[in-house]
Structure 1
Amino acid sequence: VSAVYDVGTGTYEVAPMRLAPFCSGQSHMADGTIMVAGGDADVGGYLQNGLRALRLWRPGGDAWEVPEAQLKEPHWYPTQLFLGDGRTLVVGGYRDGEAGVPSPSIEVVAADGQAVETLYNVPALTRLGGLNLYPVTLQLPWASADLPEGSFVVLVFAGVFGEIMYVPPGPAAIEHIADLPAWPTPSHVSAFSASGGHALLPLSPADGYAAELVMFGGAAGSGGAACICDAPANDKSYRLRVDEGTVVGGGMAWEVEQMPGPRVMVDAVTLPTGRVLLVNGAQSGSSNGGGPGGGGQARGHEGAAWLYDPQAAAGERFSVLASSPIKRYYHSTAMLLPTGDVLVAGSEQDDCYEACSQFNKGLHQFQAELYKPPYAAAPGRPRISALSAAAAPMGGAVTASYEGAADGAVLMTPGAVTHQLNMNMRSIRLEVAANAPGEMTVVLPPPGGRVAPPGWYMLFLLNGDLPSVRAEWVQLTN
């Protein structure tokens, strides 16, 4: 049920995991270890109950490590959030899989992954009802001066309700800061498992790392259609400023924009240029329609890639790019690679049958694709030849030797994707301290871990809108 896939050769090695990891959370730790929390119940045979399991995959490892510590509650469809102090939050989900009893808790896993420090019962998650499957969960890059030292501000959003809260450094309770404003289109949701895509727009020192959330597409209920497969998907995008001044000052408001069309089960991938790529999905249906073994019911393959430019004027932000003939619906994924390409894979169902009383048939997509953004073949992309250090502290400097021309740099997180949710996806522009021909020195994000948590990042140099032909990995230490 897991494998190590080599994108360059297209080969893979199976890595067995008996604690059912289906519909688990996933994130990277500071040393590059992958943590997978929660999962599915005992489904019989080879797989054992993984609802409270923690699993660790060490860098360079060849097998899963299972700590003795377990989650204090079962979590099916939880979101994981890696905090700037090295702890990991396991947020929401259901307690008992298909029975659908929500878990209104946030558990805090220690920085070494060997203990669960605290369990919080969070009122916000109880208000989500049955909608807290893979809630959108973000660490915001600020903390007000009146918060306890070492606190982290977190946004949690699912269905039509969201909240901004802070997580203290110790065992004290998570505290409320503000509710998100009312969702503009309650008949269509984006923040729900395998429905819409989302991104925290790139953070930049030029504007004080002001944070802004964007949501894309999603699903309706029946939408008045006799068959859920025919319910039109959400055709809107939504932006919300969540910088400190806007949140504390009570100025949050959703900005709604028309997309090129309706889209559900859509993956959002932030590119090194700061634009957001949208791939996968369908024009109608739902991820929660009860397909074979669970899954979604949809039809109307949307194979075109869309590119969203957050710097463009409203109404001019979307462009339609190349299309893929491969249907990618439920359980499809997409993530950024160090080449700047996007790996697209997965999906397990075909279009709905005409008779909606039948579950849609299976169509397991075992092939992967590389999406080549417009910059892929463009001349003028710089090439990094060396870094002065493979690891550096927050607020420190790194010098990159390069070939060609370059005038900027950006850090990009590695992907951790499932159900159209890329956990911890983050893009941080870097201050350029010096740039002589062939050598650029950049200043890493500030100490404290709020702008950029510790860990391994892809460092791209930029020549205008052209990223380097390959990123170099750099470890940010706290």
Structure 2
Amino acid sequence: MLQSSSSLRWSESSRAQSRERNPSNVFDVMESRIRLSKHSLMWMQAAVTVLVLTLLAGEVGFTLGQDTGTWEVVVENAGIATMHAAVTRFGTVVLLDRTNTGATQIALPGGACRDSNDLVLKHDCTAHSVLFDPNTNTVRPLSIQTDTWCSSGQFMPDGTLMQTGGDFEGIRKVRIFAPCPTTELCDWVESTDLQLQSGRWYATNQLLPDGVQIIVGGRSAFSIEYMPPSAPNGPLYFPFLNSTNDAQNDNLYPFVHLLPDGNLYIFANRDSIVYNYVTNTVVKTFPQIPGEPRNYPSAGSSVMLPLLAANQFSVVEVLVCGGAQYGAFLEPWTNKPASITCERITVTDANPIWVEEVMPIARCMGDMILLPTTDVLIINGASTGSQGWGNAKDPALNPVRYNTYAAPDARFTTMAPTTIPRMYHSTANLLQDGRVLVAGSNSHQFYTFTGDFPTELRLEAFSPPYLSPTFANLKPTITVYPLVITYGSPFTITVSMPSAITTSVQVSLMSAPYSTHSYSQGQRLISLNVGSSVQVAMDSVYQINANAPPSPQVAPPAYYMMFVVNQGVPSTAQWVQVSN
């Protein structure tokens, strides 16, 4: 069924120790470049891969001149310091903090209060979660009953956000947020039927092809489990998490990516595997990543690079950037410089190797956001220290854009800086209009508004260069599109645009991940096969024929933001449901 966006009615569905590296030392920079020359053959192989992928995808480089983006504060005081964030299918953004912080700066509605075993405030009349509306730049308080500190989450196929674990009384809790239009009221509900089988603090959730979430790890939780439960005998021991543990617990918030063959790529500390969760077997082991630990509390970040229909989704690459030197968490007073490297690996190669790239800025606690153009935005974080209360200094104020398919020596562009440090407990999420919402930063155990890095309650939006008015004539507008697309089936999108559309048009499906602690759980971009673009009806109106993802292994059943990208300039996204 096609539905005009002007009269849209949303359809509802039934549901190690690493060596120290000082990037400011010229010898270390030289050493990094020597390492690069040692990998000249790897770079040649990578360059060939990039060229082939670029030609197959029909992409043009996203240059758009020298624009480096812009910043704006969209809310001066959201009431809470955001630790977790997720964008709903109605375009609103759920923001959460922990509950054991004492009072926040936004009251629960109607004089409501929370009475609990809270460690700080037993009788609390303030909210620890809010719903942000990007269209009006307003927030509405939401009610959370148990502590969500360092919890995990993911959207279910019906668009419901399932949020799991946390600390203290919340460590086994399952919470549900069923989003609604902005004209209605919806709120958090703590499940009375579901409970985690193992306490989960710093775990990672990933939606699976069958619509079930797998929950991996957590502090002292070397196991996996499923939600809703599918293993009634208890959580399943996962030796990989035990083997990657160290004195800092650098295997927390493991990076988990669902591969197009249905297996899972799992990275913890400096090691990674391909795991067949159906047979409970490790089917592939990768070389250890060079450099620093990359997971919490060392806090690098990771994305699975775009999945391309142009190569039948047969090439899978993972990018891991930043992190903290080993010991930065245990000895925060040393102010150890953060990692300045990214490492990229082709998971699907027979003999995969890590290929190193040097970032313009050393960074830990950075968030990596896939953009609809297939670029990666590296944003937030610090250049020294690690995660933890007051463990970082030297905020990394400049985002960096990583051009995925450019030549290896031309991938990084330093973007315009913010004036607001975003370090421990900050988030970043892609919005429907192509901006990146940035929130949070609280390197204190409680809300503290003094010192060098006070608790941050402002919400900020970064506009990448493609949103510059200079490129407005290239921006498509989606006018007619399907509300639901079925695996393997063709569909048609109608777009309008001031200037002529070109053969470089792309259609990207973007998941809505759960952002927390420098990692966006469940993040993926699927670049679809696009047929002919035919001018129809009148000037500057086009129909684009595309093919839906072939299987739930490529795109788990869920709501996705669908962008049309013309010459590096994306439309505002429309939400579509991908299902059987």
State the TM bucket, normalised to the shorter chain: 0.7 to 0.9
Please report how far the alpha carbon of residue 192 of structure 1 lies from its aligned counterpart in structure 2 after TM superposition: 2.6
Alignment partner for residue 370 of structure 1, among 433, 440, 461?
461
Contact persistence 2:494–2:543 (CA under 8 A): yes
- Residue 218 (structure 2) aligns with: 93
Report the Cα offset of residue 225 of structure 1: 11
**Hey, what does 2:573 align to over in structure 1?**
471
Please state whether the residue corresponding to 2:188 is helix, strand or coil. coil
Please name the residue that 2:310 is paired with.
Answer: 206
1:230 maps to amino acid: N
Name which of 510, 513, 520 aligns with 1:412.
Answer: 510
* 8 Å contact from structure 1 (residues 54, 66) kept in 2: yes
Candidates 405, 418, 422, aligned match of 1:328: 422
CA displacement at 1:13 relative to structure 2 = 1.4
On the 8 A contact 1:413/1:424 being kept in 2, the answer is yes
**AA in 2 matched with 1:463:** N
Which residue of structure 1 aligns with residue 413 of structure 2?
319
* CA-CA distance at 1:184 after TM superposition: 1.2
Question: Cα distance 1:360–1:421, how it changes in 2: closer, same or farther (>3 A)?
Answer: farther
Q: Which residue of 2 aligns with 1:162?
A: 272
Q: Does 1:302 align with 2:396?
A: yes
1-side partners of 2:155 and 2:521: how far apart?
A: 9
> Once the 2 structures are TM-superposed, how far is the Cα of residue 397 of structure 1 from its aligned partner?
2.4
Does residue 56 of structure 1 match 2:198? Answer: no
How big is the shift at 1:227?
Answer: 5.1
Q: Is the 8 A contact 1:343 1:369 kept in 2?
A: yes
The answer as to 2:321 corresponding to 1:216 is: yes
Question: Contact between 2:298 and 2:325, CA under 8 Å: does it hold in 1?
Answer: no
Aligned to 1:391: 484
Q: Which has the higher contact order (CA 8 A, sep 6+)?
A: 2
Name the structure 1 match of 2:255.
Answer: 136
> Which of the two has higher C-alpha Rg?
2
Does the 8 Å CA contact 1:193/1:421 hold for their aligned counterparts? Answer: no
| SS of alignment partner, residue 467 of structure 2 | coil
Q: Provide the residue aligned with 2:565 in structure 1.
A: 462
Which of 355, 373, 396 is the aligned partner of 1:273? 373
Alpha-carbon distance between aligned partners in 1 of 2:380 and 2:144, rounded to the nearest angstrom? 28
How do 1:172-251 residues align onto structure 2 when only pairs under 5 Å count?
A: 174-185=280-291, 188-193=292-297, 195-209=299-313, 210-222=315-327, 228=333, 230-243=335-348, 246=349, 249=350, 251=351
Q: Call closer, same or farther: CA 1:471–1:193 in 2, change over 3 Å.
A: farther
Q: In structure 1, give the amino acid aligned to 2:517.
A: H
- Aligned counterpart, 1:426: 524
Residue matched to 1:17: 144
What residue number does 1:73 align with? Answer: 198
Residue pair 1:69, 1:114 contacting (<8 A) in 2 also: no
Say if 2:156 is the partner of 1:34.
no
Preserved contact between residue 145 and residue 190 of structure 2 (Cα < 8 Å): no
State the distance in 2 between where 1:459 and 1:82 align: 19
Deviation for aligned residue 1:413: 0.8
Classify the secondary structure of the residue corresponding to 2:466.
Answer: coil
Give 2:546's match in structure 1, choosing from 442, 450, 455.
442
Q: Does the 8 A contact of 1:217 with 1:237 survive in 2?
A: yes
TM-score by length of 1: 0.85
Letter in 2 for 1:319: T
Instruction: Tell me whether 193-202 or 312-321 shows the greater mean CA deviation.
Output: 193-202
Q: 2:329–2:387: 8 Å Cα contact kept in structure 1?
A: no
The 3-state SS of whatever aligns with 2:508 is strand
1:103 to 221, 224, 227: 221
Q: What SS does the corresponding residue of 2:415 show, helix, strand or coil? A: strand
* Alignment CA distance shift 1:17-1:224 (3 Å): closer
Find the aligned partners of 1:324 and 1:446 in 2 and give their Cα distance: 40
Question: Which residue identity lines up with residue 183 of structure 1 in the other structure?
Answer: I
Distance 2:475 2:485 in 1: 25
Identity %: 31
- One-letter amino acid of the structure 2 residue matched with residue 459 of structure 1: M
More deviation, 361-370/17-26: 361-370
Task: Could you tell me which runs of 5 or more consecutive residues in structure 1 were left unpaired when the two chains were aligned.
Answer: 42-48, 95-101, 143-151, 351-358
Between the aligned partners of 2:240 and 2:331, the Cα distance in structure 1 is 33
Is 1:6 matched with 2:6? no
The offset of 1:117, in angstroms, is 8.2
2:289 and 2:343 in contact (8 A); partners too: no
Q: Determine if contact 2:329/2:391 at 8 Å carries over to the other structure.
A: no
Correspondence for 2:207? 82
Counterparts of 1:393 and 1:224 in 2: how far apart (Å)? Answer: 47
Say if 1:79 and 1:66 are closer, same or farther in 2 by CA, change over 3 A: same
- Structure with bigger helix share is 2
Alpha-carbon offset, residue 434 of structure 1: 3.5
Q: Is the 8 A contact 1:229 1:284 kept in 2?
A: no
Kindly tell me: are residues 63 and 225 of structure 1, through their superposed partners in 2, closer, same or farther at Cα, counting changes over 3 Å?
Answer: closer
Aligned residues: 425
Q: Secondary structure at the match of 2:434?
A: coil
Q: Could you tell me how far apart the structure 2 residues matched to 1:118 and 1:84 are? A: 22
Name the amino acid aligned to 1:192: Y
The secondary structure found in structure 2 opposite 1:65 is strand
Q: CA deviation at 1:312?
A: 1.3
3-state SS in 2 of match to 1:269: strand
2:530–2:544 contact (8 Å) kept in structure 1: yes
Q: 1:11 to 1:225 in 2, by over 3 A?
A: closer
Residue 414 to residue 224, structure 1, CA distance change in 2 (3 Å): closer
Instruction: Give SS of 1:304's match.
Output: coil
Distance change >3 Å, CA 22–CA 402, structure 1 → 2: same
For residues 109-133 of structure 1, what are the alpha-carbon distances to aligned partners after superposition, in whole Å with 9 as ceiling and x for unaligned?
13xx899786211111111222231
The answer to whether the Cα contact below 8 Å between 2:531 and 2:546 also exists between their aligned partners in 1 is yes
Deviations 1:256-290 (A, max 9, x none): 111112111101111000000111111111114xx
Distance in 1, matches of 2:234 and 2:344, equals: 33
Q: CA deviation at 1:228?
A: 3.8
Query: Which residues of structure 2 form unaligned runs of 5+?
Result: 1-127, 445-449, 536-541
Aligned residues: CA RMSD:
2.1
1:7 deviates by 1.8
1:11-68 alpha-carbon deviations (Å, 9 max, x no partner): 1111111121111111011010001011111xxxxxxx01111111113161223331
The equivalent of 2:52 in structure 1 is none
Deviation at 1:4, TM superposition (A): 1.0
After TM superposition, give the deviation of residue 349 of structure 1 in Å. 3.0
Distance 1:10 1:386 in 2: 27
* 1:326 positional shift: 0.5
User: 1:105-160 CA deviation, whole Å, 9 max, x = no partner?
Assistant: 110113xx899786211111111222231011111111xxxxxxxxx301111112
Structure 1 CA distance for aligned equivalents of residues 136 and 496 of structure 2: 26
- Cα deviation for residue 361 of structure 1 reads 6.5
In structure 2, distance between residues paired with 1:340 and 1:117: 44
TM-score (norm 2): 0.70
